[in-house]
Structure 1
Amino acid sequence: MILDRFRIDGQVAVVTGAGRGLGAAIAVAFAEAGADVVIAARTEDQLDEVAERVAAVGRQAHAVPADLRDPDATAALAAVAVEEFDRLDIVVNNVGGALPSPLLDTTPAALSEAFGFNVANAHALVRAAVPLMLDSAGGGSIVNITSAMGRLPGRAFAAYGTAKAALAHYTRLAAADLSPRVRVNAIAPGAILTSALEVVAGNAAMRAELEDKTPLHTLGEPEDIAAAALYLASPAGKYITGKVLEVDGGLITPNLAIPLPDL
């Protein structure tokens, strides 16, 4: 049965930024497909809610409240997976972000911070996870969450877009180094209905603009990204590595312009 290829029964995944939004949806999807999960984020109450959803489908979640801006805290999640569940098969680097800012207001420190949070942080977990994947499971799969803004030019996204573009290419480079036993892929979401988009999507005019400028004329849902993550992490995606899957409604230009004046 082709659907069996999407099962990850008995596997163990680490999902960062899993208290809400994309990370929560991915963690629950993995549980529905048969995996136990280590979930990490800053807010313990949110993690507890996700853990309850995981338990409701018959799997286990180990919640780790942590400030994942700290690469050491992020890297430590790999060992937690093995300590709690005796193996590690899948890593999802979902935590990240950076606030929009005009280019000339973006300091070198802000650019460095964005790179650290989005790229160096993911690398810290990859370095910690891969030896444990090889020892406990013989291999594994890594999924990095980038962004459509890592390839689309839009004003005010110098820090965020540059960092996400770097994470996309890091994905390709890591895949080359870690083949054939560890696959590394990425997902580049477009406008997804998470709390991060509430301010925009809650405004009727702005939401209409987002939808109108998206070829599919709708916004994405967290489950759209979760389905893509499951595909890449499961045996269904076993012949894929070093690729960035664009789950963005068909975007070829940004679908919401930040109104910055010309110089």
Structure 2
Amino acid sequence: MSILDRFRIDGQVAIVTGAGRGIGAGSAVALAEAGADVVISARTHEQLAETAAAIEGVGRKAHIVVADLNDEAAIRGLADAAMETFGRIDVVVNNVGGTMPRGYLDTSVGFLERAFHFNVSTAHALTTAAVPHMLSTGGGSVVNIASVIGRVAGRGYLAYGTAKAALIHYTELAAHDLAPRVRINAIGVGSIATSALDIVMADDGMRTALEQATPLRRVGEVDDIAAAVVYLASPAGSYLTGKVLEVDGGIDAPNLTMPIPDL
């Protein structure tokens, strides 16, 4: 077997959340290129249709589920959709998440709890729904999309960073519960050129500052993360579980600071 064959997941079925654009869409298409059929979900049908067309363009099947993935029943339903459509589940990519920056005293208990729900509880809901089906066919792989802000500190990121740090430790803990047949890993994502950075990318000064604060001197691309997803999901990553693959350009501190004044 060629080493490149270890990155193939031919005949497998993946579920990718938040797959309408950005990292989710890129990861879904990358998994299809590696041989998987993919269940994709987000709120906007038009965006999902574009992702589905790209998946079908590389010769694999896509199944669209339009849903509010903040809703526990909806996100659990993705496992049912995969079983009904494809008859198995091998890979889950928990990509949906995110929280807007906010000052400390403006971060209410409710805001913090919503951040935790959107970034951690949704991942748990889908994973627990999918794992029994993974076990029925021998095992599987879960990839959680975390963030560098889950391990470094900066102003404005209290809710988001706390939630992503929880997702990272969730991954480490769940790996022990799910071993040996289901692997679960996370990706500590850095600054990636998606719609979340549109304002920064459109401003030459802000973009240059971001790049200069990154050891590799560039903003990450969606394919940087998609490649990591394929690695963790495929036999190439079969000896990893409970780990965080840090795809962040080498940063050890936030490379985008929030203009939040002292209290």
Q: TM-score, normalised by structure 2?
A: 0.99
CA drift of 1:138 comes to 1.2
CA drift of 1:217 comes to 0.1
Which amino acid is 2:60 matched to? R
Counterpart for residue 131 of structure 2: 130
Counterpart for residue 176 of structure 2: 176
Q: Distance in 2 between matches of 1:48 and 1:259?
A: 37
Q: Distance in 1 between matches of 2:211 and 2:48?
A: 31
- Deviation readout 1:75-128 (Å, 9 max, x if unpaired): 110111111001100000000011100011100000000000100111000110
- Secondary structure in structure 2 of the residue aligned to 1:214: coil
CA drift of 1:262 comes to 1.4
Counterpart for residue 198 of structure 1: 198
Q: Distance in 1 between matches of 2:244 and 2:106?
A: 30
Counterpart for residue 233 of structure 2: 233
* Structure 1 residues not aligned, in runs of 5+: none
Which amino acid is 2:103 matched to? P
Q: Distance in 2 between matches of 1:256 and 1:29?
A: 28
| Higher mean C-alpha deviation, range 69-78 or range 227-236 | 69-78
What is the percentage of aligned positions where both structures have the same residue?
A: 64
- Secondary structure in structure 2 of the residue aligned to 1:125: helix
Which amino acid is 2:106 matched to? D
- Deviation readout 1:211-257 (Å, 9 max, x if unpaired): 00000000100000000000000000000000010000000111011
Equivalent residues in 2 for 1:26-45, closer than 5 Å:
26-45=27-46
- Secondary structure in structure 1 of the residue aligned to 2:132: helix
Equivalent residues in 2 for 1:1-263, closer than 5 Å:
1-135=2-136, 137-263=137-263
Q: Distance in 1 between matches of 2:260 and 2:197?
A: 19
CA drift of 1:261 comes to 1.1
- Deviation readout 1:129-153 (Å, 9 max, x if unpaired): 0001111x21000000000111110
Q: Distance in 2 between matches of 1:66 and 1:84?
A: 17
Which amino acid is 2:200 matched to? V
Q: Distance in 2 between matches of 1:94 and 1:72?
A: 17
Q: TM-score, normalised by structure 1?
A: 0.99
Question: What is the alpha-carbon root mean square deviation over aligned residues?
Answer: 0.6
- Deviation readout 1:159-191 (Å, 9 max, x if unpaired): 000000000000001101000000000001100
Q: Distance in 2 between matches of 1:104 and 1:151?
A: 22
Count of residues in correspondence between the two structures: 262
Displaced runs of 4 or more, over 3 A: none
* Structure 2 residues not aligned, in runs of 5+: none
- Deviation readout 1:29-88 (Å, 9 max, x if unpaired): 000010000000000000001100011100000010101011111111011111100110
